[in-house]
Structure formats: C-alpha cells, structure tokens
Amino acid sequence: MFHKEGYTIIFITLIIAAALAWVASSFIELTWLSYLIYALATFILVAVLQFFRNPKRDFQLSDQKVFSPVDGKVVVIEEVVENEFFKDKRIQVSVFMSPINVHATRYPVGGKVVFSKYHPGKFLVAWHPKSSEENERTTVVVDNPFWGKVLFRQIAGALARRIVNYAKVDTEAKQASDFGFIKFGSRVDVFLPLDAKIKVTLNQKVKGGISVLAEK
C-alpha cells in the first residue's frame, strides 16, 4: 500500500525504469553495462516505492495517550518555550525521519483542529537546534477533551522540498489518521503540557500511530 502523495512520482519512476531497461536491452551491446543499467533502474524504483509506502496498521486509540505522529527516532525531549501559539513552556518531543522511514504523518491526538498554518523557511538539517523555528514547516493545533490543546509541527530538512498538510481549522481530527506527508524529509515536533508523563527516551525508535509518546 502506498501513500497517495506518491502516486504521480511512482508512475513517473516506473516509466523511467522501463525506459532504462528498454535502452539496456535494445541498444547496449556490452553485457556488464546492460546489467549496470538494469540495476540502476531497479534501485531507483525500489527506493521510490519504499519511501512512499504506507502500511496498514492496527491502531489502539486512547484519549489518555499521545501517539507518535511518524516513524523514526526520538531526537529531542526537553522543556522549551513555544513561541508561535502557546507562548509559554511546554515539553517538546521531536521525532526524526530518515529516508528509509514511512513518511506519512498522523494525528497524535484526536479532537478539533483550532490552528493550522504553513511557514516558508530555510532547509537546515532537521536536527539543527533552530530548524523548529527557521525551516519550512507547518504548525497544527488540536484541542483534545483530555489533553487540551496539543501542538505538532512538520519540519522540512535539508532534502525535503514539499510539506503536505491536510489539517483544516474547525474540522475534526481522528487520532492516528493521516494528516499529511513530508516529501523527502524529515522531522515532527510535538509540544505537550508540562504535566505529561513522557513514555519514550532519546534515540528510541518509534512508529507513527503505534508508539506512545506520553500519558497523563
């Protein structure tokens, strides 16, 4: 199963891979060169397919839990001042996605979308301390009956060049459902109340909609 954001790119990649294979079989007389072109075409196709994969998962939803919005590795757990929406202290939990991770982003909590904004910006590496405030990003806030307002932010990295965000203000967000995609990039920050009990550790690998970031 593949994410809808990848359909066009996958189709174009299939055409390119098929064209490379046709050229190798029809015009290349050197066997080693033909095999090299076949291998290149296969590599490109497999890389694109794995990037846009969107596997089905059995989500166990709970208003008392905040789930990871993406697959990846926890790279930040710290108390910070969130300056865009809350303008007060929150616990920031950040998950970094490598190119081999599933890149669909999911609502960490359910509720009503009360804020959704796109910010153009730089393309610093995703682990840079200023990437959360200076990189291209989108900020979404969901008002949850149990947690109150929870903010999460998609952040583009050095390779990312397009963030897709489906969240619209005054719509209902279903926990673990798809709210966007970061094409070829790279990090999501979640900002939680100070009394949240963090259930992950630094460098822990997490899965979107499956791994619990926090409980109360």
C-alpha distances in Å from residue 169, one per residue of 116, 128, 139, 175: 6, 29, 12, 16
Name residues of the chain where pLDDT drops below 70.
121-134, 157-161, 184-185
Residue whose structure tokens are 């001042």: 81
* 176 phi-psi bin (left φ>0, alpha ψ -120 to 50, beta other): left
Angle among Cα 69, 73, 79 to the nearest 5 degrees reads 75
Residues acting as catalytic residues = 186
pLDDT of residue 204: 98
Beta bridge partners of 100: none
Residue 91: what pLDDT?
98
pTM tops 0.85: no
pLDDT at 120: 84
Cα 177 → chain centroid: 13
